[in-house]
Amino acid sequence: MSSTIYREYVSDDSFVQRLQNMSFPFPSEMHIVVCFARDYDANMGKTDGIFRPVFDPSITPQLIASFKQNSPSVVKFYLCIGGRGQTFPFTLINRPVWINNATSSLAGIIQQFKFDGLDVFYPTINTNVVDFVEAVNGLVTNLRTTQRVITQASISTSQNVESPYLQLYRKNPSNFEYVLIGYSILPQDWNIIPYPVITTAVPQILNSGNNTLAHGTSVWAVTNEP
Protein backbone atom coordinates (compact mmCIF):
# COMPACT_ATOMS: atom_id res chain seq x y z
CA MET A 1 0.00 0.00 0.00
CA SER A 2 1.25 3.45 -0.86
CA SER A 3 2.35 5.60 2.07
CA THR A 4 1.63 8.85 0.24
CA ILE A 5 -2.02 8.91 -0.72
CA TYR A 6 -3.91 12.16 -1.12
CA ARG A 7 -7.71 11.88 -1.07
CA GLU A 8 -10.20 14.65 -1.75
CA TYR A 9 -14.00 14.52 -1.40
CA VAL A 10 -15.70 16.61 -4.09
CA SER A 11 -19.16 17.28 -5.52
CA ASP A 12 -18.40 19.33 -8.65
CA ASP A 13 -15.62 19.95 -11.16
CA SER A 14 -13.87 22.67 -9.14
CA PHE A 15 -11.24 20.13 -8.08
CA VAL A 16 -9.78 20.00 -11.59
CA GLN A 17 -8.25 23.47 -11.69
CA ARG A 18 -7.38 23.38 -8.00
CA LEU A 19 -5.43 20.14 -8.19
CA GLN A 20 -3.92 20.47 -11.65
CA ASN A 21 -2.50 23.88 -10.74
CA MET A 22 -1.03 22.73 -7.44
CA SER A 23 2.48 21.40 -7.00
CA PHE A 24 2.26 17.89 -5.58
CA PRO A 25 5.64 16.58 -4.53
CA PHE A 26 4.07 14.03 -2.21
CA PRO A 27 1.24 11.84 -3.53
CA SER A 28 2.17 8.81 -5.54
CA GLU A 29 -1.56 8.06 -5.60
CA MET A 30 -4.54 10.41 -5.58
CA HIS A 31 -8.15 9.52 -4.76
CA ILE A 32 -10.99 11.74 -5.95
CA VAL A 33 -14.16 10.74 -4.09
CA VAL A 34 -17.32 12.01 -5.78
CA CYS A 35 -20.20 12.77 -3.39
CA PHE A 36 -22.84 11.38 -3.49
CA ALA A 37 -25.05 8.61 -4.76
CA ARG A 38 -28.10 8.06 -2.55
CA ASP A 39 -31.05 5.71 -2.42
CA TYR A 40 -33.51 8.55 -1.90
CA ASP A 41 -35.73 10.09 -4.55
CA ALA A 42 -36.00 13.80 -5.38
CA ASN A 43 -38.62 14.20 -2.65
CA MET A 44 -36.30 12.60 -0.06
CA GLY A 45 -38.34 9.39 -0.12
CA LYS A 46 -36.48 6.15 0.64
CA THR A 47 -36.03 3.86 -2.39
CA ASP A 48 -34.56 0.80 -0.62
CA GLY A 49 -31.31 0.49 -2.52
CA ILE A 50 -32.17 2.18 -5.82
CA PHE A 51 -29.33 4.71 -5.94
CA ARG A 52 -29.10 7.82 -8.08
CA PRO A 53 -26.24 10.29 -8.49
CA VAL A 54 -26.80 13.65 -6.78
CA PHE A 55 -23.41 15.23 -7.48
CA ASP A 56 -23.12 18.20 -9.81
CA PRO A 57 -23.59 17.41 -13.53
CA SER A 58 -20.28 19.16 -14.21
CA ILE A 59 -18.67 15.84 -13.25
CA THR A 60 -18.87 13.74 -16.39
CA PRO A 61 -17.25 10.53 -17.65
CA GLN A 62 -15.21 12.63 -20.06
CA LEU A 63 -13.92 14.89 -17.27
CA ILE A 64 -12.90 11.89 -15.18
CA ALA A 65 -11.04 10.29 -18.09
CA SER A 66 -9.28 13.56 -18.96
CA PHE A 67 -8.20 14.24 -15.37
CA LYS A 68 -6.72 10.75 -15.06
CA GLN A 69 -4.84 11.11 -18.32
CA ASN A 70 -3.36 14.50 -17.46
CA SER A 71 -2.47 13.92 -13.80
CA PRO A 72 1.16 13.33 -12.79
CA SER A 73 -0.06 10.94 -10.09
CA VAL A 74 -1.91 7.65 -10.28
CA VAL A 75 -5.55 8.70 -9.89
CA LYS A 76 -8.46 6.61 -8.64
CA PHE A 77 -12.02 7.91 -8.70
CA TYR A 78 -14.41 6.66 -6.04
CA LEU A 79 -18.18 6.98 -5.88
CA CYS A 80 -19.30 7.86 -2.35
CA ILE A 81 -22.64 6.57 -1.07
CA GLY A 82 -24.29 8.17 1.95
CA GLY A 83 -24.09 11.75 3.13
CA ARG A 84 -23.12 13.96 6.03
CA GLY A 85 -25.30 14.55 9.08
CA GLN A 86 -28.66 12.96 9.75
CA THR A 87 -30.63 13.94 6.63
CA PHE A 88 -29.84 10.83 4.59
CA PRO A 89 -29.19 7.99 7.05
CA PHE A 90 -28.53 4.40 6.15
CA THR A 91 -31.79 2.54 6.39
CA LEU A 92 -33.40 -0.38 4.62
CA ILE A 93 -36.77 -2.08 4.44
CA ASN A 94 -35.74 -5.51 3.20
CA ARG A 95 -32.10 -6.58 3.25
CA PRO A 96 -32.06 -8.89 0.18
CA VAL A 97 -34.07 -6.37 -1.82
CA TRP A 98 -31.71 -3.57 -0.78
CA ILE A 99 -28.64 -5.59 -1.80
CA ASN A 100 -30.10 -6.48 -5.20
CA ASN A 101 -31.32 -2.94 -5.90
CA ALA A 102 -28.07 -1.34 -4.73
CA THR A 103 -25.93 -3.74 -6.76
CA SER A 104 -27.89 -3.09 -9.95
CA SER A 105 -28.24 0.69 -9.64
CA LEU A 106 -24.69 1.37 -8.45
CA ALA A 107 -23.15 -0.93 -11.05
CA GLY A 108 -24.86 1.17 -13.72
CA ILE A 109 -23.56 4.46 -12.29
CA ILE A 110 -20.06 3.07 -11.81
CA GLN A 111 -19.89 1.75 -15.35
CA GLN A 112 -21.23 4.99 -16.82
CA PHE A 113 -18.62 7.17 -15.09
CA LYS A 114 -15.84 4.56 -14.97
CA PHE A 115 -15.37 4.83 -11.20
CA ASP A 116 -12.56 2.68 -9.79
CA GLY A 117 -13.99 2.16 -6.33
CA LEU A 118 -16.79 2.69 -3.84
CA ASP A 119 -16.62 4.72 -0.63
CA VAL A 120 -19.14 4.08 2.16
CA PHE A 121 -19.88 7.14 4.30
CA TYR A 122 -22.95 7.06 6.55
CA PRO A 123 -22.55 9.10 9.76
CA THR A 124 -26.07 8.05 10.75
CA ILE A 125 -27.23 4.43 10.65
CA ASN A 126 -30.95 3.89 11.24
CA THR A 127 -30.99 0.12 11.23
CA ASN A 128 -29.56 -2.65 13.35
CA VAL A 129 -25.87 -3.37 13.06
CA VAL A 130 -26.36 -6.84 11.58
CA ASP A 131 -28.46 -5.51 8.70
CA PHE A 132 -25.97 -2.71 8.04
CA VAL A 133 -22.97 -5.04 8.04
CA GLU A 134 -24.59 -7.77 5.95
CA ALA A 135 -26.15 -5.36 3.44
CA VAL A 136 -23.04 -3.27 2.79
CA ASN A 137 -20.74 -6.28 2.75
CA GLY A 138 -23.07 -8.02 0.30
CA LEU A 139 -23.14 -4.96 -1.92
CA VAL A 140 -19.36 -4.53 -2.01
CA THR A 141 -18.83 -8.25 -2.63
CA ASN A 142 -21.27 -8.17 -5.53
CA LEU A 143 -19.66 -5.10 -7.11
CA ARG A 144 -16.18 -6.57 -6.73
CA THR A 145 -16.59 -10.24 -7.51
CA THR A 146 -19.90 -10.72 -9.33
CA GLN A 147 -20.29 -7.53 -11.35
CA ARG A 148 -16.53 -6.80 -11.35
CA VAL A 149 -17.11 -3.08 -11.77
CA ILE A 150 -14.84 -1.89 -8.93
CA THR A 151 -11.34 -2.87 -7.85
CA GLN A 152 -11.22 -0.98 -4.54
CA ALA A 153 -13.49 0.04 -1.69
CA SER A 154 -13.13 2.19 1.39
CA ILE A 155 -14.91 3.02 4.63
CA SER A 156 -15.20 6.58 5.93
CA THR A 157 -16.36 6.78 9.51
CA SER A 158 -16.43 8.93 12.61
CA GLN A 159 -16.49 8.20 16.32
CA ASN A 160 -20.26 7.94 16.69
CA VAL A 161 -20.48 5.04 14.22
CA GLU A 162 -17.09 3.47 14.81
CA SER A 163 -18.48 0.19 16.15
CA PRO A 164 -20.75 -0.71 13.17
CA TYR A 165 -17.94 0.10 10.74
CA LEU A 166 -15.47 -1.92 12.74
CA GLN A 167 -17.82 -4.89 12.51
CA LEU A 168 -18.27 -4.24 8.79
CA TYR A 169 -14.51 -4.30 8.25
CA ARG A 170 -14.00 -7.42 10.34
CA LYS A 171 -16.76 -9.21 8.43
CA ASN A 172 -14.59 -9.25 5.32
CA PRO A 173 -11.35 -7.23 5.56
CA SER A 174 -10.38 -8.09 1.98
CA ASN A 175 -13.34 -6.03 0.73
CA PHE A 176 -11.84 -2.75 1.97
CA GLU A 177 -8.40 -1.42 1.10
CA TYR A 178 -8.81 1.80 3.09
CA VAL A 179 -10.42 2.83 6.37
CA LEU A 180 -10.70 6.55 7.10
CA ILE A 181 -11.47 7.88 10.55
CA GLY A 182 -13.14 11.25 10.07
CA TYR A 183 -11.88 13.79 7.55
CA SER A 184 -9.20 16.37 7.94
CA ILE A 185 -10.09 19.91 6.90
CA LEU A 186 -13.43 21.57 6.29
CA PRO A 187 -13.93 24.38 3.73
CA GLN A 188 -14.42 26.98 6.46
CA ASP A 189 -10.97 26.12 7.80
CA TRP A 190 -9.30 27.17 4.57
CA ASN A 191 -9.34 30.78 5.76
CA ILE A 192 -7.27 29.62 8.72
CA ILE A 193 -5.16 27.04 6.90
CA PRO A 194 -4.73 28.07 3.25
CA TYR A 195 -4.92 25.27 0.72
CA PRO A 196 -1.25 25.57 -0.39
CA VAL A 197 -0.18 25.20 3.22
CA ILE A 198 -2.13 21.97 3.49
CA THR A 199 -0.40 20.44 0.50
CA THR A 200 2.99 21.57 1.77
CA ALA A 201 2.60 20.41 5.36
CA VAL A 202 1.04 17.02 4.75
CA PRO A 203 4.05 15.32 3.11
CA GLN A 204 6.33 16.55 5.88
CA ILE A 205 4.03 15.03 8.49
CA LEU A 206 3.72 11.73 6.64
CA ASN A 207 7.45 11.45 6.05
CA SER A 208 8.56 12.69 9.46
CA GLY A 209 9.20 9.20 10.81
CA ASN A 210 6.86 9.80 13.76
CA ASN A 211 3.76 8.54 11.95
CA THR A 212 3.22 4.77 11.94
CA LEU A 213 -0.52 4.47 11.26
CA ALA A 214 -1.50 6.99 8.57
CA HIS A 215 -0.96 6.16 4.92
CA GLY A 216 -2.19 9.49 3.60
CA THR A 217 -4.52 12.39 4.13
CA SER A 218 -8.01 13.39 3.03
CA VAL A 219 -9.61 16.79 2.51
CA TRP A 220 -13.33 17.51 2.45
CA ALA A 221 -13.86 19.86 -0.49
CA VAL A 222 -17.62 19.47 -0.94
CA THR A 223 -18.52 23.14 -1.11
CA ASN A 224 -22.23 22.85 -1.93
CA GLU A 225 -23.34 19.55 -0.53
CA PRO A 226 -26.06 17.94 -2.64
* 226 falls within a domain: no
Of the candidates 168, 179, 166, 162, the residue with the CA atom closest to the CA atom of residue 123: 162
What pLDDT, on the 0 to 100 scale, is given for residue 96? 98
What pLDDT, on the 0 to 100 scale, is given for residue 216? 47
Residue 138, domain CATH: 3.20.20.80
pLDDT over threshold 90, residue 101: yes
75: left (phi over 0), alpha (psi -120 to 50) or beta: beta
Q: What is the pLDDT of residues 136-163, one digit of tens each?
A: 999 999 999 999 999 999 998 765 556 8
**Any residues with CB less than 8 A from the CB of 197 and at least 6 apart, and which?**
none
Calculate the average pLDDT of the chain: 81
* 225 falls within a domain: no
Residue 128 lies in domain: 5-220
* 153 falls within a domain: yes
| More confident call, 200 vs 124 | 124
Q: What is the pLDDT of residues 31-66, one digit of tens each?
A: 999 999 999 999 999 999 999 999 999 999 999 999
pLDDT over threshold 90, residue 17: no
Which DSSP category does 125 fall into?
B
pTM comes to 0.81
Percent of the chain with pLDDT over 90: 57
Query: For residues 15 and 58, what is the distance between their CA atoms, to the nearest angstrom?
Result: 11
Number of domains in the chain: 1
Q: What is the pLDDT of residues 197-226, one digit of tens each?
A: 444 444 444 444 444 444 445 555 555 555
What pLDDT, on the 0 to 100 scale, is given for residue 202? 46
- Say whether 186 sits in a helix, a strand or coil: coil
- Say whether 185 sits in a helix, a strand or coil: coil
| More confident call, 96 vs 206 | 96
